[in-house]
Amino acid sequence: EAQVTQNPRYLITVTGKKLTVTCSQNMNHEYMSWYRQDPGLGLRQIYYSMNVEVTDKGDVPEGYKVSRKEKRNFPLILESPSPNQTSLYFCASSLQGGLYEQYFGPGTRLTVT
Amino acid sequence: SQKIEQNSEALNIQEGKTATLTCNYTNYSPAYLQWYRQDPGRGPVFLLLIRENEKEKRKERLKVTFDTTLKQSLFHITASQPADSATYLCARPSRNAGNMLTFGGGTRLMVKP
């Protein structure tokens, strides 16, 4: 089954404790991206990647890191989480960028206390 | 800024009626727009893509229009059903972010039996 998986689905952590949210897709897609979704602000792009070892900032990259060492994986790293990073996070992939439909993961609900 | 705006107020309609959702954009005219459906707590799911040279696109009970003069896209659901209740998002390619998508805030549709 073609899908995007994220782990963990739910995470409660404390300020400053480094964490990684994993994302994996099995569709051999070139493009992958991370979004956060907050009430009243909609989906906002954090980082995106057009291929292995190619990443770039989206609209809200501050406080986040990503890496793309393999085509299928695109982890999101929060080196020192803060409460304002409490949000619902989605990973997405598409064949070759915006012209193609994006497949979204199930989401990771992160709470930073 | 590259704004894409949707009516943030919920749209309540009666089952069987046609729902019409609006997406307005500013600044540059995108080569295409995409529409997604999102259920609470879940990732968005792709519905339709319409290109700038297509005035209308249909898929089963769904219809999307694209008016580059008005800078607007309309999303219609005919013969609406309670199962159509969800948030609907429109998105356009970002001009300077590798063609990745920028999403509107979404419009929540409630179809009452």
Which of A60-69, A93-102, B13-22 has the least mean pLDDT? A93-102
Give me Rg for the CA atoms of chain A. Answer: 13
CB atoms within 10 A of CB A77: 14
Pairing label, strands A42-51, A54-57 = antiparallel
Taking residues A40-53, report their average pLDDT.
91
Task: Return averaged pLDDT per consecutive 10 residues of chain B, 113 residues in all.
Answer: 80 97 89 94 95 93 94 96 97 74 93 96
pLDDT tens for residues A15-38?
999 999 999 999 999 999 999 999
CB atoms within 10 A of CB B82: 10
pLDDT above 90 for A2: no
Residues of B in contact with A43 (CB under 8 A): 44, 89, 103
pLDDT value of position B96: 64
| DSSP class of A73 | B
Residues of A in contact with B100 (CB under 8 A): 31, 33, 45, 48, 58, 97-98
Element (H, E) at B18: none
| DSSP class of B55 | S
Among the partner-chain residues B98, B99, B103, the one whose CB lies closest to the CB of A42 is B103
Task: Look at residues A6, A8, A54 and name the one whose alpha carbon lies nearest to residue A31.
Answer: A54
Locate A87 and state its tokens: 């949000």
Q: Name the residue type at position B2.
A: Q
Among the partner-chain residues A31, A33, A106, the one whose CB lies closest to the CB of B43 is A106
Decide: helix, strand or coil at residue B108: strand
